[in-house]
Each structure stands twice: as structure tokens, then as C-alpha cells.
Amino acid sequence: MKTVRSLVITGFGINCEEEMGAACTLAGAQADIVHLNQILHERVSIHEYDLLNFPGGFSFGDDLGSAKVLGNKIKFRQTESGKKLLNELERFLSDGKYIIGVCNGFQALVKMGLLPNIGGRFEQEVTLTYNDSGRFEDRWVKLRVNKNSPTPFLKGLQTFDVPVRHGEGKLLFADEEVRRKVIEKNLNCLSYADSDGNPTAEYPFNPNGSELNCAGLTDPGGQVFGLMPHPEAYLSLYNHPDWARRKRQNPGISEEGEGLKIFRNIVEYIGEKYVE
């Protein structure tokens, strides 16, 4: 089986690239961490990779809204040979490849129109804005997976815990038509859930007040996946604040963190495609 190659983008205030790279490596991929400028100057090509990762952080200081500047840079900036990077991402996806964005990376995917991309024109259809609490939220949450979601990133998952670290995570739809189509196509692939695993709008289980309690989106083809919480921050059982009790109650529990499953899913899925 061919080794899956994973490209992790960094630079301009992104600060979760090492965790993202570690997640891909632990999942069995070859992970390269590359500054966005290396791509824009065509020293590195995204087309040499199978999985493209947009990590979390504070790109450009979030001065004009979280990831707005990063999204515009990717959408409109031309490479050395005059190609728009957004067009290169479109080609990347047309080749059957995959993209994940976490937190600031999710915000960038939303603002450059890759998610949910219902119309297929890479135009912004939703936004991520200030939390209802009016403050930065740094806490662990439980997520419920939409079992009808089209994305392979979430295969076999039902509920899992992950941390959130954001000030602008409230997802809003452009209009009722976008909202309706997201529901109809099961693109709202992750919901914030209460302690029983039921989707909820109640704070702090839902840390930001997102419409549909939405914590993550996928595009209609399942190739692009974004979420506000940080799965790459839960790669080991010992990352969890409640690990000691869980270990006592179940001594045989896996020492892998639940967030790692997302990366294993996509690396295994891509690897299986090569075998086919």
C-alpha cells in the first residue's frame, strides 16, 4: 500500500501545526509541515499530497475576523506562475483528494467558500462569528456525529470528547435556503452534545451558540471536512482531564485519544483507495 502523504500548512499565526502533523503521523501518514509561502512561491506543490490540513491558531491575529485574511489570501493570491491557489485547491479536490480544517482552519475553509459549498461555486454560504458568551471559550465538549454524514473522516464514530479553544465559533447560515440544504444533505456532520450525547443549544455544552448546534461541516462529496473543536489535541488518553477516572473504571481502555480516530479514518480510507 502506498504511503499516504499529508501536507500541514503553517505560517502567519497558525500555531497548531505540530499537533496536526503528529496526528497525521500517528495515523500512519507521512506528514510535512510547510509554510504557506512555500506553496505560493511554488517550491512545494499541494498536488504531491493526498491530504491537506489547515490547522488552528490565530492567523493574521484575527484582526479582521477569524481567518478572513487567510481565506482571502488563499482565494485571491496568485502563485509565482500566476495561478490562483483556490483554483489549485479545486483541482486538488477534482483529483479525489481530501481537506481538513480545524478551528482557524475551519474558519478559513468557510470564508473562502470550500464549506459547505452547496452551490459548487466556492462562494461563502455560512460564517463563524463571536461566541454568544462574548468571550474566548477554552473547555472540553462532547460531540455527536450525524450518522448520515457523507464524509469518511467520521466513519464509525458516534460521540466523542474534544477541547474547544475559540472566540469566534458560532456558525450562522447566510439564509434559510442554505440552512435547509445543509440539513437535507446531512452536511451538519457534528453537533455539540450534552453529557448524555444529545445535541443541545445549552451553554456550556454548546460553547458558542451555533445554529443547529453545529460543531462541524462537510461538503456534499465528503472530501472537505471542518470543525471548531480540536481533535489533534486529543491524541492520547492522557490528554483528557478525566483520564484517571476513566482508567480506573476501565483498566483495559485504549490509551489512544478519541481525536486520533478522525485522522486514522481518513488515512486508512485514502490508503484503501490506492489498493482499489
Catalytic annotation, residues: 103, 230, 232
Instruction: Return the C-alpha cell found at 5.
Output: 502523504
Q: Are 213 and 206 in contact (CB under 8 A)?
A: yes
Give the whole-angstrom CA distance, residue 262 versus residue 160.
11
Cβ neighbours for 132, distance < 8 A, ≥ 6 positions apart = 170, 203, 208, 209
Q: Are 221 and 115 in contact (CB under 8 A)?
A: no
The angle formed by the CA atoms of residues 165, 168 and 169, to the nearest 5 degrees, is 70
Instruction: Output the CA–CA distances (angstroms, integers) from residue 17 to 31, 94, 103, 105, 108, in the order listed.
Output: 10, 25, 12, 11, 15
Instruction: Return the C-alpha cell found at 139.
Output: 473547555
Give the whole-angstrom CA distance, residue 213 versus residue 206.
7
Q: Is 167 helix (H, G, I), strand (E, B) or coil?
A: coil
Cβ atoms within 10 Å of 15's Cβ, excluding its own: 13
Preceding peptide of 251 cis, ω within 30°: no
Cβ neighbours for 178, distance < 8 A, ≥ 6 positions apart = 116, 118, 125, 126
Cβ atoms within 10 Å of 83's Cβ, excluding its own: 13
C-alpha atoms less than 13 angstroms from C-alpha of 130 in its C-beta half-sphere? 6
